[in-house]
Structure 1
Amino acid sequence: MTRPQSAEARRVRAAELFDQGRSGAEIARMLGVSDESVRRWKRVWEKDGADALRRRPATGRPPKLDGAQVERVRTALEHGAHANGFEADLWTLERVGAVVTRETGVTLSKASVWRLLTGRLGWSLQRPERRAVERDESEIARWIDHEWPRIKKGP
């Protein structure tokens, strides 16, 4: 048997196997989980049934931005910082927060902006490369091709 993809699928499959009278050790081996997990699931299953092993909706405060608002923000951010009125084409949490407020009317804290970027948008931190303005790529290539082998070879 192949291993189910989600934790909920493993728990639901365990409930089916409990109905079949399989042992806890056998279920644990079949699903690739610990014996303790199977014992815990069986206690829940015996008390409240198979539906108790299904995933429950997340608790807590609902997000301030709905899906449509998040997509408006994503579109605005994808146009770049210049297109959003910033001098340098670089995003900071403060700048993203300003775009969120302009696009949705909702003001978010820096922490909430970070969660929006990394969680709901799936983006990650990207730092720009620091390079000297005077950098001459052709001179660097020439040095690597001609000077470095001579230096490496030694006297």
Structure 2
Amino acid sequence: MEACERFVHGDENAVIARDLRVSVRSVQRWHRAWSQGGPRALTSKGPASLPLLSDELFAVLEQELAKGPVARGWPDQTWTLSRIKTLIGRRFHKSYTVQGVAALLKRHGWSCQVPARRAVERDEAAVVKETWPSVEGPWRRSGPGSSSRTRPASR
């Protein structure tokens, strides 16, 4: 829309392209559309393609995810992007990339979570929580041959 205002003022396409950080060819296309259809011709037409999974299918995917990975044949209870990609392929016959699955989940409000790595057999009562005494070493001045990164002491 800023380009539209600049077309009205008579600015050159190259100047508009530089200021908006786009190609001159894009500005030329915008200018042609603007001259034929006015400002309405420059409004967004929406996304270039529709998502592979509609909101209804994503709701079904959420139900599948709620059942857990073990119910779908994996050995543990961790959903990974790769596993979700495979689930989408098997259940809906749609092909996503791992990055596409991440974008799909993020778009629907999901976030990446890493489970705490704790053994199932862990006994919290048996865990010993002990603080070791801190030990301070003797302070020494840096001298020749020292591995210190500070300047050697002056003589």
- The structure that is helix-richer by fraction is 1
Aligned to 1:72: 60
Question: Deviation string for 1:67-112 (max 9, x for gaps)?
Answer: 2111111110111111222110101111101111122111111111
State how far apart, in whole Å, the 2-side matches of 1:79 and 1:132 are.
22
Pairwise mapping of residues 18-33 of structure 1 onto structure 2 (< 5 A)?
none
Query: What is the identity, as a one-letter code, of the residue corresponding to 2:71?
Result: A
> Which residues of structure 2 form unaligned runs of 5+?
9-33, 135-155
Aligned to 1:91: 79
Counterpart in the other structure of 2:125? 138
* Alignment TM-score, normalising by the size of structure 2: 0.52
What secondary structure sits across from 1:127 in the alignment?
coil
CA apart distance, 1:59: 2.6
Matches within 5 A, 1:1-155: 56=44, 58-119=46-107, 121-131=108-118, 135-140=122-127, 143-144=128-129, 148=131
* Number of aligned residues: 106
User: Is the 1:81–1:90 Cα contact (8 Å) retained in structure 2?
Assistant: yes
- Structure with the larger RCO, 1 or 2 (CA within 8 Å, 6+ apart): 1
Q: Where has structure 1 moved over 4 Å in runs of 4 or more?
A: 46-49, 132-135
**Ranges in structure 1 where 5+ consecutive residues have no aligned partner:** 1-39
Residues 72, 103 of structure 1: 8 Å contact kept = no
Please report the RMSD computed on the Cα atoms of aligned residues, expressed in angstroms: 3.2
Letter in 1 for 2:103: R
Q: When the two structures are superposed, what TM-score results if normalisation uses the length of structure 1?
A: 0.52
* Partner-residue secondary structure (3-state), 1:122: coil
